[in-house]
A and B are shown apart, each in its own frame.
Chain A
Amino acid sequence: MKQEQNEKALLFGLAKKDRKCIEAIYKDNYNLIQALIVNNNGTVEDAKDIFQEAIMVLYEKVQLGDFELNCQIRTYLYSVSRRLWLKRLAQQNKFSIGDEQHFELAMIDEDSDEHEKRNVDFLMMEKAINSLGEPCRSLIEAFYLEKKSMQEIALNFGYTNADNAKTQKYKCLVRLKKLFFAQYKNESL
């Protein structure tokens, strides 16, 4: 019972991006996943990638207010990591996971598919922002991501007033949307 409560607390902490909770989850599970990956044709680098992606899947789940795991965090992360790694191996045309000590697996299909879709969205936005060029990119990031005011931005970027900065931001935004939606439409066709 106590352990169950503890796990819940960790999940709530994760949803709030509490660093202590994230560290605890990280510390308790990383070595297990690293062993899984390294014993199956992966490198330590791959292990870090996969494990972080698995945490991201869990994070997205609790973000949506879904704290019912039906299994331990450890089982969940293992199952997701295993699935992600199998997929990556398949992409590289390598053989599948072989010597596995029978580790309990959880049903994670939905979460994992949802994550995949978000992953694609993320990469599209990243690509669009990266191909925007300067100073557009910094301008957009300052306004939409860092939520700075137009006055502040005008000052930082050396525009004579907030209106000038606004016009420039508008031009950049139109370009960014064009870049993003061009990819988006390609993807959904």
Chain B
Amino acid sequence: MEDNKILEAIERYINGQMSADERMYFEQLRKTNSEIDQAVVEHTFFLQQMNRFDSRRKFKSLLNDVHIDLAEKGAIKSPRLQGNAKVIYLFNRYKRVAAIAASIAGITTLAVSIIFSSVAPTREKKEIQELVNTVGQLKNHNIKQDQAINTISSKVNASGVSPAVDYRAGATGFLIDTKGYVITNEHVIENAHEVYVQNTAGKDLKAKVIYTDADRDIAILKITDEKFKAPSSIPYSIKQTNSSIAEPVYTLGFPRNDVVYGEGYLAANTGFKHDTLSCQIAIAANPGNSGGPVLNKKGEVIGILTAKQTTAEGAVFAIKSKYIFDAIRDLENETLKLPTTSNLKGLERQQQVQKIQPFVYMVKVN
């Protein structure tokens, strides 16, 4: 407690918050007590370091912000080299590595596919709960809400809000190409008649399913609504390699009618019962989080949230992001360009989330 008071006094002394008398007394103390004098010098230095740290961090994030802005406006050439230039550049840079990698990959693929076909897992329905938000579950809850809202709704009706889409299940999806391609889970849109995506502004946009892969649990939608405005670029990137476990991750999703943020870490590089298609994440997820992006601190998407294990607490599974690339390759008739550089590096988490939010959609199915 004693030290506490001394340090507080030192801080007030450095910040010039002492009264004249107090200051005199303290300066006297400083002269007679070398320990206190030493502590003042040390703490002054420390506070200066902290202030420098802060101003530098703020400046850095300002620079990053300017960079993203200018890149989006096309005022600077970053972040992507255009078309051929990039291919040639990458080819020159990596040709030898690529050749070796390709031959290794070829052999491995063969081996893996043989192993896989013999032990391919059948989907476990009971232990794993897919995180689609079935509207039925929420019915009870809704009735109560309805009653509350009903009393007000008659007054509100006149204001003319756009008609909401009736839907039986809701989940999450996110944009992977500026032309309006949204990725989500296959189990979300299973047996769907109609699919809508709702952006963070609350607008419903009609979409159609253009690709499904039940094994990997990936589906790609294309927004067909004419109200959809294509953004100039996507801030996050899709990661092609595995991540290391213990890496902090976060997700955005629609477990309810509003976007919800969640934080956790990568727990294992395999999924339920050693499934190598997916990875395990420790994060709070609820029905409705299905199809949401799992991002690391650099703003790279490392997976798509899929399911949680009902027999264990806090075990959530995500499909590894590299399978998004596989899905794109399987697409016929459509060519997609996945974002491969993240514009979010070095930004504070709040800013990252702010930039990502407009690209995450609530997927509504009926």
Contact = CB atoms under 8 A, between A and B. Distances in A.
Contact of A145 (B4, B54, B78, B345): B54
A23 B59 contact: no
Nearest to B54: A145
A38 B53 CA distance: 30
Contacts of A118: 52, 56
A55 B63 contact: yes
B53 A122 contact: yes
Given A44-B78, A44-B80, A56-B59, A26 B66 contact: yes
Interface in A163-186: 166-167, 170, 173-174, 177, 180-181
B8 interface: yes
Nearest to A39: B89
Chain A contact residues: helix, strand, loop or mixed: helix
Contacts of A125: 49-50, 52-53
A148 interface: no
Contacts of B53: 121-122, 125-126, 129, 145
Interface of A: 17, 19, 22-23, 26-27, 30-31, 34, 38, 44-45, 47-48, 52, 55-56, 59, 118, 121-122, 125-126, 129, 144-145, 166-167, 170, 173-174, 177, 180-181
Nearest to B85: A38
A52 B78 contact: no
Contacts, number: 85
Contacts of A144: 47, 50, 54
Contact of B76 (A27, A121, A126): A27
A48 B67 contact: yes
Interface of B: 3-4, 7-8, 42, 46-47, 49-50, 52-54, 56-57, 59-60, 62-64, 66-67, 69-70, 75-81, 89, 341, 345
B8 A22 contact: no
Residue from the set B3, B76, B81 with the largest chain A CB neighbour count within 10 Å:
B76
Contacts of A26: 63, 66-67, 70, 76
A23 B77 contact: no
B341 A45 contact: yes
A56 B60 contact: yes
A52 B60 contact: yes
A27 B64 CA distance: 13
Given A23-B70, A125-B49, A170-B7, 12 more contacts: A27-B70, A27-B76, A30-B76, A30-B77, A31-B77, A34-B77, A44-B341, A52-B60, A52-B67, A122-B56, A126-B53, A177-B46
Nearest to B53: A125
A31 B8 CA distance: 50
20 contacts: A23-B70, A26-B67, A27-B70, A27-B76, A30-B76, A38-B89, A44-B80, A44-B341, A48-B67, A48-B79, A56-B59, A59-B59, A125-B50, A125-B53, A144-B50, A166-B8, A170-B4, A170-B8, A174-B3, A181-B42
